[in-house]
Amino acid sequence: MQRLFSKRRWLRFLQFTLLGLLIAVSLHAEIAVAVQEPSHWVRVEYTGQQVTTTSDSLQPSVTSPAAQLVQQAEDRYQAGQLTDAIALWQQAATLYKTQGDRLNQSLVLSFLATAFEDLGQWTQANEAISQAISLLNAQNPASNSDSSQVLAQVLTIQGKLQLAQGKATEAFKTWQQAETAYRKANDTSGILGS
């Protein structure tokens, strides 16, 4: 009985320690991911409880329809219109899927996971993040820096979801994987945030 009590106490301590670490890092670190596509850049920033995406096109008239949907979804998300943002991100994910762009499809699925989390829709959040990770693993994320960067971003969000669901140990392991991916991408700010 004494051993069980100390194990529970240790797990509770670990949960609170990880939560404190997440809060501290969230307040001071910004994770930026840049994924180059032929016609534009999609930049993702994850700061604490908020995911921000922006599309910066070299020429605004060349922004792809999917990137426009991502931008519209970001605007809705920032305005607190989560269901509208989800619908737009789902459309963007479908467009990226039809284009065979697994990298941006994965990124958009991670945005969906965050929005579902904000609504308390844990099943959908977990499905979206799992699908994003599956897509990235299918294309061998170790093959290039962009893939490693996106994998790190997705794993960071997965860890956040796990922690929010009381799975502190799993979250910690996931963040260790994210740190490894950030190191492969040579992203020092990502390493600090993971």
Q: Which CATH number fits domain 2-193: 3.40.50.720, 3.30.70.20, 3.30.70.980, 1.25.40.10?
A: 1.25.40.10
Say if residue 169's pLDDT is above 70.
yes
Say if residue 117's pLDDT is above 90.
yes
pLDDT at 147: 84
Beta-carbon contacts of 116 under 8 Å, excluding residues fewer than 6 positions away, are: 86, 122, 124, 125, 128
pLDDT at 25: 45
pLDDT at 5: 54
Q: pTM for this one?
A: 0.68
C-alpha–C-alpha distance, residues 161 and 171, integer Å: 8
Q: Which of 143, 131, 154 is nearest to 185 (CA)?
A: 143
The label of the residue with tokens 């991670």 reads 110
**High-pLDDT (> 90) share of the chain, %:** 52
**High-pLDDT (> 70) share of the chain, %:** 60
Mean pLDDT, rounded, of the chain: 76
pLDDT at 63: 79
Say if residue 38's pLDDT is above 60.
no
> With contact defined as beta carbons under 8 Å apart, do 157 and 113 qualify?
yes
pLDDT (average), residues 165-174:
95
pLDDT tens for each residue of 118-152: 999 999 999 999 999 999 988 765 566 778 889 99
C-alpha–C-alpha distance, residues 167 and 55, integer Å: 33
Q: Compute the C-alpha angle 50/53/55, nearest 5°.
A: 165
Say if residue 32's pLDDT is above 70.
no
The ranges assigned to domains in the chain are 2-193
pLDDT (average), residues 178-186:
83
Confidence of residue 10 (pLDDT cuts 50, 70, 90): low
Say if residue 108's pLDDT is above 80.
yes
More confident residue, 79 or 38: 79
